[in-house]
């Protein structure tokens, strides 16, 4: 068996990184928001690269449709409906026992962002919606933490590094969330190569930032379409002197006023996330078994009833699959879980 010091030898032989850069990487704390197609690539690369502390935050559970592109998961994870953060941590602890993997099964919200980003040296975007990204942007600018934005759908992906105070922030580029119907992985599909490429590009910025300092990463925008072969890099956009976030320091996404009480999960489902009371899943399972078969573990409860699939989490959050109507979802929640 090779000596432990050999683990990162091929990485440290890369002169711009070197032993000193590896030491900085190993002492770093990185937060990954979202552990789906992008987040699993990010988490595996950074775990193998030796980032000392990885905090993986995801609200969702593994499904069979994830396995086409979410590399950390297998059929057992989908069968057991494991939370993605937990399944990822289990896998990564087998990859690298010298680092700390911290899974958090939760949404990123205005109520918990301070705890989630505590002591973070860098934040990675592995999410799939602008509401969460704007919250990340506000939190990163407020705390002066660099973060990497990335997104992919279909065969197209985009990546941009953000260093608060030095580069444009997300709201300099997107003052408001995109309006109207937007493509999603549910409606337009997504190819694994594009999520892997964007996730890898994001982690390249992470390794550069951690090893050489945040000023080494520029804010240019990279876009790729793997189907047409188009690859484009756009010069770093200038900071908007009137940006409500990084110029005026109005962090409207951190007070919760911009957060809708429900959100679509992009797969004919509605998430009920305004509940803030804990739920005893074992007790709930005992009550619901009289109505339908229930699957329950320490992380979630699932049942199918009246044409809907309910997934309930210990914090009271639930995903109602089978509708995109928020009123119907609330009604199903109230009927089977309570108000």
Residue 261 CB-density burial (10 A; 0-12 exposed, 13-18 middle, 19+ buried): exposed
Rg (CA), the chain: 20
State yes or no: is 185 an active-site residue: yes
**How many Cβ atoms from other residues are within 10 Å of residue 144's Cβ?**
11
Angle at which helix 192-212 crosses helix 18-26, to 10 degrees, equals 110
Report the 3 state secondary structure along the chain.
Answer: CCCHHHCCHHHHCCCCCHHHHHHHHHCCEEEEECCCHHHHHHHHHHHHHCCCEEEEEECCECCHHHCCCCCCCCHHHHHCCCEHHHHHHHHHHHHCCCCEEEEEECCCCCCCHHHHCCCCCEEEECCCCHHHHHHHHHHHHHHCCCEEEEEEEECEEEEEEECCCCCCCHHHHCCCCCCCCCCCHHHHCECHHHHHHHHHHHHHHHHHHHHHCHHHCCCCEEEEECCCCEEEEECCCCCCCCCCCCCCCCCHHHCCCCCCCEEECCCCEEEECCCCCCCCHHHHHHHHCCCCCEEECCCCEEEEECCEEEEECCCCCEEEECCCCHHHHHHHHHHHCCC
Residue 249 CB-density burial (10 A; 0-12 exposed, 13-18 middle, 19+ buried): exposed
Catalytic residue among 169, 172, 185, 209: 185
The residues annotated as belonging to the active site are 185
């Amino acid at each position: 068996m090779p000596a432990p010091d050999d683990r990162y030898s091929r990485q440290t032989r890369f002169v711009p990184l070197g032993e000193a850069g590896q030491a900085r990487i190993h002492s770093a704390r990185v937060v990954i928001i979202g552990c789906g197609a992008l987040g699993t690539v990010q988490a595996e690369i950074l775990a193998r690269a030796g980032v000392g502390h990885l905090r993986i935050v995801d609200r969702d559970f593994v499904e069979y449709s994830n396995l086409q592109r979410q590399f950390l998961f297998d059929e057992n994870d989908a069968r057991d409906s494991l939370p993605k953060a937990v399944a990822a941590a289990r896998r990564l602890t087998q990859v690298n026992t010298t680092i700390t993997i911290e899974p958090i099964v939760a949404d990123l919200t205005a109520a918990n962002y301070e705890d989630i980003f505590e002591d973070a040296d860098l934040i990675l975007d592995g999410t799939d919606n602008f509401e969460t990204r704007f919250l990340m942007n506000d939190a990163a600018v407020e705390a002066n933490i660099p973060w990497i934005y990335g997104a992919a759908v279909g065969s197209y992906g985009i990546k941009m590094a953000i260093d608060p105070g030095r580069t444009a922030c997300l709201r300099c580029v997107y003052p408001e969330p995109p309006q109207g119907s937007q493509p999603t992985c549910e409606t337009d599909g997504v190819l694994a190569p594009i999520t892997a490429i964007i996730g890898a590009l994001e982690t390249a910025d992470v390794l550069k930032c951690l090893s050489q300092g945040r000023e080494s990463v520029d804010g240019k925008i990279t876009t790729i379409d793997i189907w047409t072969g188009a690859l484009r890099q756009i010069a770093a956009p200038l900071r908007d002197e009137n940006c409500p976030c990084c110029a005026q320091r109005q962090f409207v996404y951190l007070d919760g006023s911009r957060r809708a009480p429900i959100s679509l999960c992009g797969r004919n489902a509605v998430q009920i996330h305004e509940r803030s009371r804990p739920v005893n899943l074992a007790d709930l399972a005992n009550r619901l078994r009289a109505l339908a078969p229930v699957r329950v573990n320490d992380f979630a409860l699932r049942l199918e009833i009246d044409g809907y699939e309910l997934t309930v989490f210990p914090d009271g959050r639930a995903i109602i699959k089978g509708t995109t109507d928020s009123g119907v979802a609330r009604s199903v929640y109230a009927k089977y879980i309570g108000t």
